[in-house]
Structure 1
Amino acid sequence: MTPQEVYNIMIERDRFSKWLGLEMDEIREGYCKLHYTVKEDMLNGFERIHGGVLFSASDSAFAFACNSHGIITVALDVSITFTNPAKAGDVLYVEAEELHLGNKTGLYDIRTTNEEGKLVCLFKGTAYRTGREVQ
């Protein structure tokens, strides 16, 4: 199964990623790049993007990248560091890259940047490969 076929299966069932407005730019084995526009209802009390939105978009990119091999893969451990704010109307780019792929685990670096290329957050994920094929 190709990475695009895996993504198509996942996004068909992933109502949350659709609700976030995530749009895929590129998908290949161990990698994905997507983007979305920050909406008013994604803001916190200081009118900046809520950290939960950044986390969720990063987590979705992580899921698309680590499942791209066609093996059902789930998160074991994740962490996020916030570096710069974003506001309504900003377009954010989320790029997930596989750093290591083993028999049972994978390590991923997920970076969110703004239109100027500034880092908005850095998300690191460790994934567990179940051995079951995506269907």
Structure 2
Amino acid sequence: MKDRLSIYKESMESLPLHRFLGLKVEELGEGDSRVSIPINSNTLNVAGKLHGGVTYTVSDVAAFLALSSLLEPGEFAVTIDYQCSIYRGTGSGPVTFHARVARRAHRLAFMNVEVLGPGGELLAEARVTKAITRRQAPEIYR
């Protein structure tokens, strides 16, 4: 039987939007995750730089994956707040999203995400807050 983290990894990589973006889960550990995407026509804006909406989407995925190792059976998490500071754009990749759980409380969790360019340069930082619910995870995550 597969462990929960393997199921989350496979589920996240198999979602149609994530496949379209080329999302890969590089690392998944205790309160920590690394996700990467290539830079191509699917991830660029009209200026030829990483699209802000892609930055938001993949940051949220990385934050969820970092938290997933700390969720108990019967718990799931949904985003209730997201803040992102974009420092610079990039037209080359891959881009890596490194998420860490800053704090996991009873019903809330707080994650920090660093968005790193191909040379390790800091492109953006996100702060994601998720509400932890006592409901079964959607079927795709089981």
Contact kept in structure 2, 1:48 and 1:86, CA below 8 Å: yes
| Matched ranges for 1:1-135 at <5 A | 1-12=3-14, 14-70=15-71, 71-87=75-91, 89-134=92-137, 135=142
Contact kept in structure 1, 2:111 and 2:128, CA below 8 Å: yes
SS at match of 2:118: coil
CA RMSD of aligned residues (A): 1.8
State how far apart, in whole Å, the 1-side matches of 2:13 and 2:133 are.
Answer: 20
State how far apart, in whole Å, the 2-side matches of 1:41 and 1:51 are.
Answer: 12
- Distance verdict in 2 for CA 1:10–1:24, change over 3 Å: closer
Contact kept in structure 1, 2:56 and 2:84, CA below 8 Å: yes
The TM-score with structure 1 as length reference comes to: 0.87
SS at match of 1:42: coil
- Distance verdict in 2 for CA 1:98–1:67, change over 3 Å: same
Shift of 1:48: 1.3
Higher mean Cα deviation, 91-100 or 31-40? 31-40
In structure 1, stretches of 5+ residues that fail to align are none
SS at match of 1:57: helix
Identity fraction in percent: 20
- Distance verdict in 2 for CA 1:68–1:15, change over 3 Å: farther
The TM-score with structure 2 as length reference comes to: 0.83
Contact kept in structure 2, 1:3 and 1:69, CA below 8 Å: no
State how far apart, in whole Å, the 1-side matches of 2:11 and 2:136 are.
Answer: 12
AA aligned opposite 1:56: T
State how far apart, in whole Å, the 1-side matches of 2:57 and 2:45 are.
Answer: 15
